[in-house]
Structure 1
Amino acid sequence: MNADRIAALSGAGVAVEVVAQTGSTNADLLGRAASLPAPVLLVAEHQTAGRGRAGRSWLSSSENSLTFSLVWKFDGGPQALLGLPLAVGVMLGDALDRLGVQVRLKWPNDVLKDGDKLAGILIETQSAPGGGVWAVIGIGLNLIMPDEVEAQLGRSAAGAPWLARMERDVLMAALLDALAAGLRQFAQHGFGAFCVRWNLRHAWQGETVVILDNGAVLHEGRAAGVDDTGRLLLDTEQGRITVMAGDVSLRVKA
């Protein structure tokens, strides 16, 4: 992949960097955020220590996936970022739609294709000198899912062979454009501008689900979408409740 070509193909006006290998693009940008003057996209052709939520590892290879992080500065404190992982899911969903790949969203940060995980989102933050907060938005997108990788994961996962046939620089530029436009909208209007679109893509709308914390069931109920701050709405026997993301997990009840 070529950073100059991605930047030239994109209309986002964001600096682009490509490295052959690194541990984690999120960790790299977090370490630099305090000194950055503007947003940066960092693409790794191979990550050796990619991470998902709750410290889970993300398996990737340059042939089979796209791994990158985008660091973006927001005014205000952490409260200004409520719902950002879900909004990024909407941005990705809209971009993938335009590229011919139909996806659904799983609360709070997974992109699904045919019921299996196609992409994951990890957002980490750091206070900005002089005010505001830097958000490092890490994304891992499966392009091809070989049998041996599924065996390592211990579960099925989705691929998008159509995207794998695209020129990588063109694909990355299209995703960058969608993310940059969406992040500017989020900065102005918050998750409220994305809530309806998220609910339209909700993979488990109306399904009976359980909320787990370290394997223990915290709540059970019927998934009813999300509210305009990104909280999951769950209709339980005791009535409707809201669930914040944190490190809990969501599963369809077996």
Structure 2
Amino acid sequence: MGNFYGTLSLPCNDPETASLRSFVAVLAVDDALRAVMGDGPKLALKWPNDVLLNGGKVAGILLESLVVKGQMWGVAVGIGVNLIAAPDMTQVEDGAVYPVSVKVESGVDVTPDGFLKHLAPAFAQWDRQLTTYGFAPIRTAWLARAARLGETITARLPNENVTGRFDTVDENGYLVLNTAKGPRNIAAADVFF
């Protein structure tokens, strides 16, 4: 038994559509965790691609464009879930959410294969929603599970930190912060609470 690590390659030639797959993946991971652990432990989604369990990071999603001869043909969706063990705090960036594991937080033992049996159908369902109805139902479901919605958070960009109230996620999946200078839509950043 160990932690879950998996990568799914999907055809996609549009970077904006590809980026929305992180929301699909994180909803699927959340559903799979709920199926494995039941209703006891508290789960929440951290923008754009982390799952929190009892306040700590239990899972993360990483997207990578698949490009051949300068043309994007797909996206690789990488998923990591701390089923049994979590990284030590010394391996985590200062200010980041502390890592946790399913076993320690819930007492549930699940194998990577056992977790995949819940994850695969959940991903297929959310991905069908995205391809059939667009981002709107994904966005609604994600916001219903969002961590720190309505609270002040900080988005760390390459050249600045932006602090504001987390108001929503827009129709492109961008984080919307209400800052002292007004609303700010952020396409990509590291978020700190």
* Structure 1 length-normalised TM: 0.64
| Cα gap change, 1:169 to 1:64, in 2 (>3 Å) | closer
| Cα gap change, 1:197 to 1:236, in 2 (>3 Å) | same
- Computed over aligned residues only, the root mean square deviation of the Cα atoms, in angstroms, reads 2.5
Report matched runs for 1:218-237 at 5 Å: 218-237=161-180
Paired AA for residue 234 in structure 1: L
Partner of 1:133: 73
State the aligned residue count.
183
* Aligned-pair CA distance for 1:127: 4.4
Alpha-carbon distance in structure 1 between the residues aligned to 2:147 and 2:23: 13
3-state SS in 2 of match to 1:96: helix
Alpha-carbon distance in structure 2 between the residues aligned to 1:228 and 1:117: 25
Q: Which of 79, 101, 104 does residue 159 from structure 1 map onto?
A: 101
Report matched runs for 1:135-214 at 5 Å: 135-145=75-85, 149-154=87-92, 156-161=98-103, 165-214=109-158
* Aligned-pair CA distance for 1:187: 2.4
* Aligned-pair CA distance for 1:143: 1.1
* Aligned-pair CA distance for 1:163: 7.9
Structure possessing the higher relative contact order (Cα contacts under 8 Å, 6 or more residues apart): 2
* Aligned-pair CA distance for 1:234: 0.6
Alpha-carbon distance in structure 2 between the residues aligned to 1:192 and 1:163: 35
Alpha-carbon distance in structure 2 between the residues aligned to 1:218 and 1:151: 23
Which 4+ runs in 1 deviate beyond 3 A?
Answer: none
Task: For residues 65-86 of structure 1, give each alpha carbon's deviation from its aligned partner in whole angstroms, at most 9, with x where no partner exists.
Answer: 1111111123x52232242212
Paired AA for residue 133 in structure 2: H
Please say if residues 109 and 122 of structure 1, whose CA atoms lie closer than 8 Å, have aligned partners that are also in contact.
yes
Please say if residues 3 and 80 of structure 2, whose CA atoms lie closer than 8 Å, have aligned partners that are also in contact.
yes
Paired AA for residue 71 in structure 1: S
| Cα gap change, 1:167 to 1:110, in 2 (>3 Å) | closer
Comparing 159-168 with 192-201, which one deviates more in the overlay? 159-168
Please say if residues 2 and 112 of structure 2, whose CA atoms lie closer than 8 Å, have aligned partners that are also in contact.
no
Partner of 2:9: 71
| Cα gap change, 1:65 to 1:120, in 2 (>3 Å) | same
* Aligned-pair CA distance for 1:105: 0.7
Unaligned runs of 5+ in 1: 1-62
| Cα gap change, 1:168 to 1:121, in 2 (>3 Å) | closer
Q: Which of 4, 23, 30 does residue 93 from structure 1 map onto?
A: 30
* Aligned-pair CA distance for 1:170: 2.8
Alpha-carbon distance in structure 2 between the residues aligned to 1:150 and 1:110: 17
3-state SS in 2 of match to 1:205: coil
Alpha-carbon distance in structure 2 between the residues aligned to 1:139 and 1:163: 22
% of aligned pairs identical?
28
Task: For residues 143-184 of structure 1, give each alpha carbon's deviation from its aligned partner in whole angstroms, at most 9, with x where no partner exists.
Answer: 1236xx314424731110158523442321211111122223
Please say if residues 104 and 111 of structure 1, whose CA atoms lie closer than 8 Å, have aligned partners that are also in contact.
yes
* Aligned-pair CA distance for 1:186: 1.8
Paired AA for residue 169 in structure 1: D
Please say if residues 31 and 119 of structure 2, whose CA atoms lie closer than 8 Å, have aligned partners that are also in contact.
no
Unaligned runs of 5+ in 2: none
| Cα gap change, 1:168 to 1:250, in 2 (>3 Å) | closer
